[in-house]
Amino acid sequence: MYDFLLLASCLVFIGTCIAYARHDAASLFHPATIYLAFHGFIFVIRPLFARFYEFDLVYRVYDFLPSLSDKITVILGSNLAMLVFVFTALRVGGQPVARSPDALEFDRLRRDFTGPILLTCVLLAPLALAAQFATWERRVDPYLTMARDAGTGIMVNVEANGWFMESALILAPLSVFAVWLLRYRPLGWLIFAIASVLMLGSGGRGAFVFAATAIAIIFLLERGRRWFDPRVAGLGILAVLVFNAVVIDRGQSLRSMLGSDLDGGYTTAHDLDPLEHMDFANLEYFEYIVYAVPQRTGSWDYFAHNLQIFTEPVPRSLWPDKPIGSPVKFFELWDYGTPIGMTISLPGAGWMSFGYVGIAIYAALFAWLYGAIYARLLGRSATPVAMLAYALLAATTIVVFRDGILLTLLRQLPFYFGPFLLVLLFARVKKPNTPRTIAPYDSAGETPADRRRALASQGSRQLL
Q: Give the mean model confidence (pLDDT) for residues 429-449.
A: 49
Following DSSP, what letter does each residue of 176-202 receive, concatenated?
A: HHHHHHTTT-HHHHHHHHHHHHHHHHT
Whether the per-residue pLDDT at 395 is higher than 60: the answer is: yes
Whether the per-residue pLDDT at 393 is higher than 80: the answer is: yes
Residue 67: pLDDT band with limits 50, 70, 90: very high
Provide the sign of the torsion angle of the four alpha carbons 412, 418, 419, 420, taken in this order.
positive
Higher pLDDT, 160 or 91: 91
How many CB atoms are closer than 10 A to CB 262?
A: 16
Residue 461, C-beta contacts closer than 8 angstroms, at least 6 positions apart:
183, 184, 185
Q: What angle do CA 397, 30, 427 make, to 5 degrees?
A: 75
Considering only CA atoms, which of 384, 405, 272, 260 is closest in space to residue 326?
A: 405
Whether the per-residue pLDDT at 321 is higher than 90: the answer is: no
Which secondary-structure segment (H or E) carries 72?
A: helix 68-92
* Interaxial angle between packed helices 171-181 and 206-223, expressed in degrees from 0 to 180 and rounded to the nearest 10: 30
Q: Give the mean model confidence (pLDDT) for residues 276-280.
A: 84
**Radius of gyration from C-alpha coordinates of the chain:** 23
Q: Give the mean model confidence (pLDDT) for residues 155-169.
A: 71
pTM over 0.75: yes
What is the C-alpha separation between 348 and 433, in angstroms, rounded? 47
What residue spans define the domains of the chain?
A: 2-460
Question: What's the confidence (pLDDT) of residue 153?
Answer: 55
Residue 175, C-beta contacts closer than 8 angstroms, at least 6 positions apart:
191, 192, 195, 196, 211
Higher pLDDT, 293 or 165: 293
